[in-house]
Structures are given as C-alpha cells and as structure tokens.
C-alpha cells in the first residue's frame, strides 16, 4: 500500500452505495435522451433538405444514441429488482447486459449507416443545396449536446472524487457503464458535429461531395470506437470483475485485526451490480477457537462487515489453514502475492 493510500480516508465503497446516485444517473440519461431526440429530428430534416451525407450520418448518430439511452434506462430499472429463487444474487448485472445492447445499437444504427452514407456519397458525388441550413442546426445541436455532456461530466467528477481515481482510471475500470456510456456518447457527439461542420464547409467551398462523404465515414469510425470501448467494458463486467483492489486490501487489513483471526488466506470479490459486491473470505482462525466460537465469530464478522461496507451484498466466510500449499499457490497466481504470512 502506498503512502498516499495510507493517508487517504477509508474507501467506504468500491461502488455507489445502494440507491445513492441512481437519481443522478437517471437524470443524466434522461437529459441525454431529450437532447438526442431534439437534435436528431433537426439533423434529419436538414440532411433531407440539403442532401448532406454528414448531416444524415449525424441523424443516424442521434438515433443510435436515443436507442442507447432507452436501453440504459431499461437496464437501470430491471437491475433494481430484489434477489429471488431463480436469481439468488439479484439482477444487478442486467444493467451490464442492457449497456452491452446499447453499445451494439451505436454500431448498428450509427456507425454502419454512416459508413454506407459516406461511401455512397463519395461514389455518387451528390450535390448539396441550401447548405446554409446545416450551420444553425449544427450550432443548436452543439448547445444541446454540450448541456448533456456537462451533466455527464459532473456526475463522472463526483464518482472519481469519491473513488479517489482519475477520469482515465475510472474509464479503464468502470463500475457503472451508464455514466461512461453517456459521457462517451456526448463526447463523440460533439466531435461528430465538428466533423460534420468541416465536411459541409469544404463541400460548399470546393463543390466536391468527397469531403461530405469523408466526414460521414469519419463519424462512422468515431462511433465504431465508442461502440468498441463500451462493449469491452460491458464484457468485463458481465464476465465478472473484482471490486476495487484498495477496497479488497482494506477488508483484508480489517479482518486481520479481529481477535479471532490469525491470518487471511484468500479474498475473492466480484461486482454483482453497480451497488453490490460478493465477498468470499478464506480465513485462518486461531487454533484455540472452538466450534461454537467459530460460528459466533463468523456471524459477528458478517454483521460488522456489512455495517462497515454497505455494498457488501453476499458474504461467505470459510475457515482455511494458511499453510495449505495448493491454496497458497492459487492465491499467488491470482494476485501475484500470498495473502497469508508464512
């Protein structure tokens, strides 16, 4: 553990506490949905009137973003269902599934259409008309997308401050794909508008539709990058990732301070949702502990762990000898170090 980690306040949670942040996440998605609906209609109208491939690609971009936001809202709602007989660990990962669908929607409805429209325009060389209509539409779209981006950035800033991470670190290991999806969408939207404006202007200045088509292809590449980034993040979350390593180390240190515990042999964590963590702890209890004392210790540890870290959803505590060679080797392979002392 670094000196910075030692001086920092306890990391209370690797993810947002249950219920906290849900309202802000919903607001972020709804604001993005409203912005994309409004600008999507304007882009489509401008693209049809002027014949601009870049504007039509931007309309497809907005349509893809709207689909994405609908998937994100659906995932938020369905992931909050409580655990039941068929899903004893709850439905938290549904948010990751619908975020994956959102990433696919960006590719299908946005990137694929942009590539088609761009290549078609370059080959056919269609002329644009009434080009001036495109500029106020692009400007108005930038204002709306910027408002949505500001809200997403504000929420991202709050998340990174609470988790003591940089934005880059958070984007590499997202805990809530909803925030990342909207942030990347809106960032791509602003860049896409810039591409569209350049393509339209160059087409107007030179009379060549190649620039308009090239802008459309550039927008497609941009959306393909966003789709790939979100897909990769959602895949990791669906497969199963551990909680923040700092959070795991804090649990390890706390367990080793308990009077009944001789050493922590192994710790397994997995995010089962944006606000829930599964914890499996293999612990070497002191040799003098009787069977009844062991049961009482496990119950106490379970209770106090939940009180200290509210996002711990399911906790399994297993007595295990710290000198077991096979177990030590598995832990060494997984973490690069043996948790238990020799």
pLDDT, tens only, 280-305 = 999 999 988 788 899 999 999 999 99
Q: Is the pLDDT of residue 116 over 50?
A: yes
The pLDDT assigned to 258 comes to 93
Q: Alpha helix (H) ranges present in the chain? A: 3-7, 22-50, 53-79, 94-105, 112-124, 134-163, 167-172, 177-206, 210-239, 245-256, 291-308, 325-335
Give the CA count within 13 Å in the CB-facing half-sphere of 123. Answer: 7
Q: Which residue has the higher pLDDT, 108 or 186?
A: 186
Q: Over the chain, what is the mean pLDDT?
A: 82
Q: Distance between CA atoms of 14 and 176, rounded to whole angstroms?
A: 11
Q: Which residue has the higher pLDDT, 258 or 165?
A: 258
Percent of the chain with pLDDT over 90: 18
Percent of the chain with pLDDT over 70: 90
pLDDT band at 140 (very low <50, low <70, confident <90, very high): confident
Q: Which two tokens stand for residue 17?
A: 């506490």
Q: Which two tokens stand for residue 132?
A: 């001036």
pLDDT, tens only, 92-102 = 899 889 988 88
Q: Is the pLDDT of residue 257 over 90?
A: yes
Query: Looking at the whole model, is its pTM more than 0.85?
Result: no
Q: Which residue has the higher pLDDT, 4 or 157?
A: 157
Secondary structure letter of residue 267 according to DSSP: E
């Amino acid at each position: 553990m670094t000196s910075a980690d030692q001086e920092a306040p306890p990391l209370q949670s690797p993810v947002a506490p249950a219920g906290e942040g849900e309202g802000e996440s919903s607001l972020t998605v709804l604001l993005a949905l409203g912005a994309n609906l409004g600008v999507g209609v304007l882009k489509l109208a401008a693209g049809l009137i002027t014949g601009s491939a870049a504007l039509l690609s931007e309309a497809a971009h907005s349509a893809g973003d709207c689909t994405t936001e609908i998937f994100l809202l659906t995932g938020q709602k369905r992931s909050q269902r409580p655990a039941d007989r068929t899903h004893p660990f709850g439905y938290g990962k549904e948010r990751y599934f619908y975020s994956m669908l959102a990433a696919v929607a960006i590719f299908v409805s946005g990137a694929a259409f942009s590539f088609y429209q761009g290549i078609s325009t370059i080959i056919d060389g269609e002329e644009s008309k009434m080009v001036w209509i495109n500029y106020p539409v692009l400007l108005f779209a930038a204002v709306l997308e910027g408002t949505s981006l500001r809200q997403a950035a504000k929420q991202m800033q709050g998340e990174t401050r609470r988790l003591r991470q940089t934005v880059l670190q958070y984007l590499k290991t997202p805990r809530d794909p909803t925030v990342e999806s909207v942030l990347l969408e809106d960032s791509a939207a602003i860049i896409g508008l810039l591409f569209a404006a350049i393509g339209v202007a160059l087409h107007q200045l030179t009379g060549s539709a190649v620039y308009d088509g090239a802008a459309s292809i550039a927008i497609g590449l941009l959306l393909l990058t966003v789709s790939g980034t979100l897909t990769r993040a959602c895949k990791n979350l669906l497969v199963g990732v551990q909680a923040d390593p700092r959070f795991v180390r804090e649990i390890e240190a706390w367990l080793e301070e308990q009077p009944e515990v001789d050493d922590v042999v192994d710790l397994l964590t997995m995010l089962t949702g944006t606000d829930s963590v599964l914890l499996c702890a293999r612990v070497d209890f002191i040799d003098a502990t009787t069977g009844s004392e062991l049961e009482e210790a496990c119950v106490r540890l379970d209770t106090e762990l939940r009180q200290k870290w509210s996002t711990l959803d399911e906790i399994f505590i297993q007595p295990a000898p710290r000198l077991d060679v096979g177990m030590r080797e598995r832990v060494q392979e997984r973490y690069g170090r043996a948790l238990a002392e020799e």
